[in-house]
Amino acid sequence: MTINPIEWTGKSVKLIDQTKLPYEYTFVEINTYQEMATAIKDMIVRGAPAIGVAGAFGVALAAKETTEIKELEKIGEYLKSTRPTAVNLMWAVDKQINHAKKIKQERHSGLDPESHEMLNQVQHDIYDVLVRNALEILNDDLNRCKKIGEHGSSIIPGGANILTHCNAGALATAGYGTALGVIRSAFAKDPKIKVFANETRPRQQGARLTAWELVNEGIPTTLITDGMCGYFMKKGMIDLVVVGADRIAANGDAANKIGTYTVALAAKAHDIPFYVAAPRSTIDMKIKSGDMIEIEERDRTEVTHINGKSICPEGVNVINPGFDVTPAGLIAGIITETGIYKPSEIASSAILSHK
Ligand code: MRU
């Protein structure tokens, strides 16, 4: 089964409703940038590369309503504010806004400002270009994930037991996945590999999304709760860890779903290699270290409730950071579309030359 979390219908965007998985495989149609902002915020679409693609379509949909650059910039900021940690969203939205500026400059020179017909034509052109651009970002991400898979599969030992945390699969990207891309490619070469999927509290992306993707694909998968991974590591049942990332700082520190840091610490204690798989659009060279990455704080009900039902007394205090940062020192390698790098090599401009 091919999973396309984001599709362009020709006039709107079709998203798999990830909040309904694994119970229902349904879609949501997005017609406006406001609807896209809500879909990103409510995690109908989620995962760093996927929200980048969604944000790019959000800007394109906005261009149906306005191509005033100031307005588009405001809308871009609004889209970017929906989820602050994953840099792919900022990267894709900024790319679209810069594109709109460029076209506007090119097409507006020598234009009669009184001619409504000409102005309408420019608006139409900008909308068309932004849609094409968003489709390019989508296809580009898919290709990057396949390359990440190829590179990553080269370091997976035969018959390995691989642990992953959260969902860095087809659903979190334009398709195929980053960490799950590595697992998919490795499984295609070696059907003896097996996966341990951490449940990933509070949103349970590991149970609801990763396990769903892997089971559908026939990849042997064992679901464990987050606190169990040290136990299985100590028993020698995990050979390596591969996770995705939402933002990688210039020093190689990597932000990913809350709980990832704990997995990396446990892996270090048991001498198990811990890898991060991500496209270069996840690398933020403006951020020197992981300490500077903004960590999204999410609603308390994600912790206090499961499936709409409270699991704790009402007056309890709750803190719910969505992400944590794994320091570069705990990361054996960062698997990208151009190869596998030590965290210390991430800043090298050669790696980023064609970001
Ligand atoms: O809050 P989410 O579900 O959007 O978070 C996504 C993650 O943190 C994933 O683990 C992932 O590695 C980044 S996306 C490939």
**Calpha distance 207→222 (Å, rounded):** 10
Q: Which of 3, 87, 176, 205 to mutate to test the pocket of ligand 1 (most atoms within 8 A of CB)?
A: 205
Type and span of the H or E element at 142: helix 116-153
The position carrying tokens 């362009």 is 8
- What pLDDT is attached to residue 353? 53
Tell me, in angstroms, the distance from the centre of ligand 1 to residue 257's CA.
Answer: 6
User: What pLDDT shows up at residue 314?
Assistant: 94
What 3-state class would DSSP assign to 349? helix
In the 8-state DSSP scheme, what is residue 149?
H
Task: List the structure tokens of 159.
Answer: 């018959």
Residue 319 lies in a domain: yes
Give me the pLDDT at residue 303, please.
98
- Whether residues 171 and 309 share a domain: the answer is yes
**Residues 140 and 268 placed together within one structural domain of the fold:** no
Domain boundary (113, 131, 147) is at: 147
Q: Are residues 111 and 162 in the same domain?
A: no
C-alpha–C-alpha distance, residues 189 and 182, integer Å: 11
Beta strands at 305-306 and 240-243: parallel, antiparallel or unpaired: unpaired
- How far, in Å, from the CA of 245 to the mean position of ligand 1? 7
* 1 occurs within a structural domain: no
Q: Pick the atom of ligand 1 nearest to 168's CA.
A: 15
Residue 246 CA, closest ligand 1 atom number: 13
pLDDT at 120: 79
Nearest CA to 156 among 175, 184, 178? 184
- Looking at the structure, tell me whether residues 224 and 339 fall in a common domain: yes
Residue 173 CA, closest ligand 1 atom number: 15
- At which of 88, 121, 147 does a domain end? 147
Q: Measure Cα distances from 4 to 7, 67, 69, 181, 228 in Å.
A: 7, 29, 31, 14, 32
241 & 321 share domain: yes
List pocket residues of ligand 1, CB cut-off 6 Å: 46-49, 166-168, 172-173, 178, 205, 243-246, 256-257, 322
Number of C-beta neighbours around residue 241 at 10 A: 27
Q: List the domain range (segments joined by +) for residue 122.
A: 6-147
Residue nearest to atom 6 of ligand 1 (CA): 47
What is the pLDDT at residue 118? 74
The answer to whether residues 60 and 169 belong to one domain is no
For residues 141 and 256, state if they share a domain.
no
Can you give the pLDDT at residue 77?
98
Q: What is the mean pLDDT of each run of 10 residues along the chain (355 residues)?
A: 96 98 98 98 98 98 94 98 97 97 80 70 89 98 98 98 98 98 98 98 98 98 98 98 98 98 98 98 96 97 96 97 98 97 85 54
Which pLDDT score is estimated for 334?
98
Q: Say if residue 167 is in the same domain as residue 63.
A: no
Which residue from 45, 51, 246 has its CB within 8 A of the most atoms of ligand 1, so it is best to mutate? 246
| Phi, psi angles (nearest 5°) of residue 354 | -120, 50
β-partners of residue 306 are 309
Is 136 within a domain? yes
Residue 193 lies in a domain: yes
Give the residue, by CA position, lying nearest to ligand 1 atom 10. 166
Pair of tokens at residue 71: 């307005």
Q: If you ran DSSP here, which 8-state letter would residue 330 be given?
A: G
Q: Would you state the pLDDT for residue 270? A: 98
Residue after which a domain boundary falls, among 124, 147, 170? 147
The residue count of the chain comes to 355
Residue 268 lies in a domain: yes
- 208 and 280 share one domain: yes
Question: How far is residue 289's CA from residue 349's CA, in Å, rounded to a whole number?
Answer: 17
Q: Clarify whether residues 175 and 276 are in a common domain.
A: yes
The pLDDT of residue 168: 98
Specify whether 190 is catalytic: no
Atom of ligand 1 nearest to the CA of 244: 12
Q: What CATH number does the domain containing 322 carry?
A: 3.40.50.10470
Rounded to the nearest 10 degrees, the angle between the axes of helix 48-62 and helix 116-153 is: 170
Which of 249, 247, 265 lies closest to 344, judged by CA?
249
Q: How many domains does the chain have?
A: 2
Tell me: do 117 and 175 sit in the same domain: no
33 lies in some domain: yes
Answer yes or no: is 230 within a domain.
yes
Q: What per-residue confidence (pLDDT) applies to 111?
A: 63
Q: Between 48-62 and 33-41, two packed helices, what is the crossing angle to 10 degrees?
A: 160
* Together in a domain, 195 and 331: yes
Neighbours of 192 (CB within 10 A): 12
140 within some domain: yes
**What is the predicted pLDDT for the residue at 113?**
64
List the CATH number of the domain containing 124. 1.20.120.420
Q: Give me the catalytic one of 141, 226, 239, 246.
A: 246
